[in-house]
Amino acid sequence: MEVVNAQEKFELSVSTAYQQDNFQWSIAGNAIGTNPNVYSELTWKNLSGPALQVSFQAKVWKAVFIKASLNHSLILKGNANDTDYSEDNRTNPIFEANEQSNKGNTDNYILATGYDFKNKVFSISPYLGYEKSSQLMFLLDENIKELNTSYKAKWSGALLGFKTDAVIKKGFYVQTDLAYHQIKYAAEANWNLIEKFAHPVSFKHTADGFGLEGMLKAGYTIYKSLATYLYVQKSFWNTGAGIDELFYNNGNIAYTKLNQVERKSQNLGLGIKFSF
């Protein structure tokens, strides 16, 4: 097993996974966060489907490396809840709808550079980079064919991480990867059945936040440069307070407080790696 062999200059990995996301945001009744403090709240749960990930890592100078990855997943099942309140702290609901959310997708891109500190059986590799993650989600109802409400979210910003790589015994290895993200959040929505809203952009959300990601991978080298692996990955994304910018069809614009946005994601997958 040569997971940390200094002679390996290039790694290419391809994996497939089952991905599941939970997503939530809320706004207040006005720009200062009152009247009420939670006026409208959207929650998507169990957004799940298959994912495909391609990643590579290449040595560019001695122990300095670059790495990049692309993850694309489909949303094939899920549900959503839309609730409005007239009083503070989610009391006295005045509207509630439970909808389907069985279409959409997510994409994730990472580009980073780092340095390997290693010996024959163990390495630790800090890295810096940039990540962009996007989600396209819907509110749907089989009884209301015209309903096609959409919400597109983008998380992007710098990341700081480190990965470890350890040989357990001949042929078997374990890898970890932990990262912190400082992010900018931006979203656009089309509430297609509300006539007083503008279309195709009914409102926008902007905020600053952070993200945490962790991955655990266990693999086995089949023959020299060929290995298989299983992995589990979890992530948590959260924003602070931001701005909800609402567009009306008469050209007027209204502003309210975006309380926060929260996303939780997890992947369980298997893959194959080529090392040269």
In order, the DSSP letters of 201-220 are --EEEEEEEEEEEEEEEEEE
Per-residue burial over 90-106, b if 16 or more Cβ lie within 10 Å, else e, is eeeeeeeeebebbbbbb
User: Looking at residue 5, what is its pLDDT?
Assistant: 45
Per-residue burial over 182-212, b if 16 or more Cβ lie within 10 Å, else e, is ebebbbbbbbbeeeebbeeebbbbebebebe
pLDDT band at 7 (very low <50, low <70, confident <90, very high): very low
Contact (CB, 8 A) for 139 and 152: no
pLDDT at 6 over 90: no
Percentages helix, strand, coil for the chain (3-state, rounded to 5) are 0, 75, 25
Q: Which two tokens stand for residue 276?
A: 């040269």
Contact (CB, 8 A) for 58 and 85: no
* Per-residue pLDDT reduced to its tens digit, 127-141: 999 999 999 999 999
Please give the average per-residue pLDDT across 25-50, as a whole number.
Answer: 97
* Per-residue pLDDT reduced to its tens digit, 43-83: 999 999 999 999 999 999 989 999 999 999 999 999 999 99
